[in-house]
Amino acid sequence: MASDLKEFDVVVVGGGMVGAALAAALGQAGRSVAVVEARLPPAFRAEDDYDLRVSAVNRASQHLLERVGTWPGIIERRASAYRCMRVWDACSAGEIEFDAVEMGEPDLGHIVENRVIQEALLERLEQLDSVRLLAPFGVETLELGERGVCVGLSDGRELQARLVVGADGARSRIRELAGMQRSARDYGQTAIVATVTTEVPHESTAWQRFLPTGPLAFLPLGDGRSSIVWSATGTEAERLLGLDDADFRHALARAADLRLGRITACSKRAGFPLVGGQSYPYVRARVALIGDAAHSIHPLAGQGVNLGFMDAAELAGVLDSSFRDPGSMLVLRRYERARRGENETMMRLMEGFRLLFGSQLPLLPWVRGRGMALTGTVQPLKRHLMAHALGTAGRRPELATPFVDPVR
């Protein structure tokens, strides 16, 4: 770890999954970095039950986590590979299955607890001499100057840097202090999360059913249970959260079309109101936003943190390939140009899916059914969709590509 420095190349505010990944990439490249994190996760212990917050980590994100030396730390703790994905529509015969084998891949991704990813990344930061983790401290003030920034912490300390990165989530304080705007989109839905035991084994498959009130996903965990994300309209979610255990399990089994049989056990439940949005702009002189601070989307395709990881990979790559001042607009605009289009495309796609599956217009179930049947039979189209889910379609930041050891 760096000694008690007060001057850095970059201050990253938010040591969550995305901010910590950026700091690891920058630290590995020799940049001096301070990471300010308001709340550290409780230490992971193998005997702990699964946390309710999990993410489906795709292949591109896995490559980034491998390149920053964190993937082994994640696997050592706890991660569950899933090999298939089965998606079906509650209002039509539409159904489609994606299998890793069709892509010549060992799996389609991993279900990992958010706290596991964060802890493994923070452990990596501890090993990097040029990175200093400051926690638990919040950021209170931000002064933007021509040549640098001054970040004021909750304990009164001040950090100088040439660039500050807001990786502090959807309610970003850095975005607010820097006077950057955000368009907010209330989806009118709440995502209910819980860990459940199903009568029928999940077969390392992610199951997703589109209901008129929102999508329901079962994400397979390593111990045979599943982590659910059940998005429902506000009033329906409130009703579901208020049910007693037996009634909730019964409602869940029926909502899943009994594909996984009865729900024989369910953990405590939590609800997350779903609000999407995007920042305008992502950058200004000496400030960049990444992850949920820059954009947040509906979790229906499990893409939020994966997009954030690509922001981190892109920004680290842009800073690494330039000899210029890292806070200059010439450098930062390259990051925004590369990421905004990608993120907007994914946001529009998710919005399209949400409206397509949420609408009750008379012909739409038929259209969905036909569309899913067709997609299942047209291999190039199916492979294209799978490549998108894996994060391997189109251009990717170099840090999100497989690492090839030059010595081998």
Ligand X SMILES: Cc1cc2nc3c(=O)[nH]c(=O)nc-3n(C[C@H](O)[C@H](O)[C@H](O)COP(=O)(O)OP(=O)(O)OC[C@H]3O[C@@H](n4cnc5c(N)ncnc54)[C@H](O)[C@@H]3O)c2cc1C
Binding site for ligand X (CB under 6 A): 13-19, 36-39, 55-56, 138-139, 167-169, 173, 191, 193, 229, 272, 291-292, 299, 302-306, 308
Q: Are 83 and 107 in contact (CB under 8 A)?
A: yes
Q: Based on CB atoms, which residue is closest to ligand X, 36 or 364?
A: 36
Q: Are 212 and 204 in contact (CB under 8 A)?
A: no
Residues 6+ apart with CB under 8 A from 363: none
Q: Supply the minimum distance, in Å, between the C-beta of residue 134 and ligand X.
A: 9
Q: Based on CB atoms, which residue is closest to ligand X, 13 or 331?
A: 13
Q: What is the DSSP string of 280-291?
A: E-SEETTEEE-G
Q: Based on CB atoms, which residue is closest to ligand X, 115 or 249?
A: 115
Token duo for residue 151: 């970040």
Q: Based on CB atoms, which residue is closest to ligand X, 18 or 25?
A: 18
Distance spanning both ends of the chain, measured CA to CA: 31
Q: Are 23 and 11 in contact (CB under 8 A)?
A: no
Q: Based on CB atoms, which residue is closest to ligand X, 14 or 317?
A: 14
Q: Based on CB atoms, which residue is closest to ligand X, 57 or 364?
A: 57
Token duo for residue 145: 């100057």
Q: Supply the minimum distance, in Å, between the C-beta of residue 170 and ligand X.
A: 6
Q: How many beta carbons lie within 10 A of that of residue 275, not counting itself? A: 15
Q: Supply the minimum distance, in Å, between the C-beta of residue 136 and ligand X.
A: 8
Q: Supply the minimum distance, in Å, between the C-beta of residue 379 and ligand X.
A: 26
E-state strands within 39-175: 54-57, 80-82, 84-89, 95-99, 109-113, 131-134, 139-144, 149-153, 158-166
C-alpha distances out from residue 337 to 223, 340, 341, Å: 42, 6, 7
Q: Supply the minimum distance, in Å, between the C-beta of residue 339 and ligand X.
A: 13
Q: Supply the minimum distance, in Å, between the C-beta of residue 156 and ligand X.
A: 14
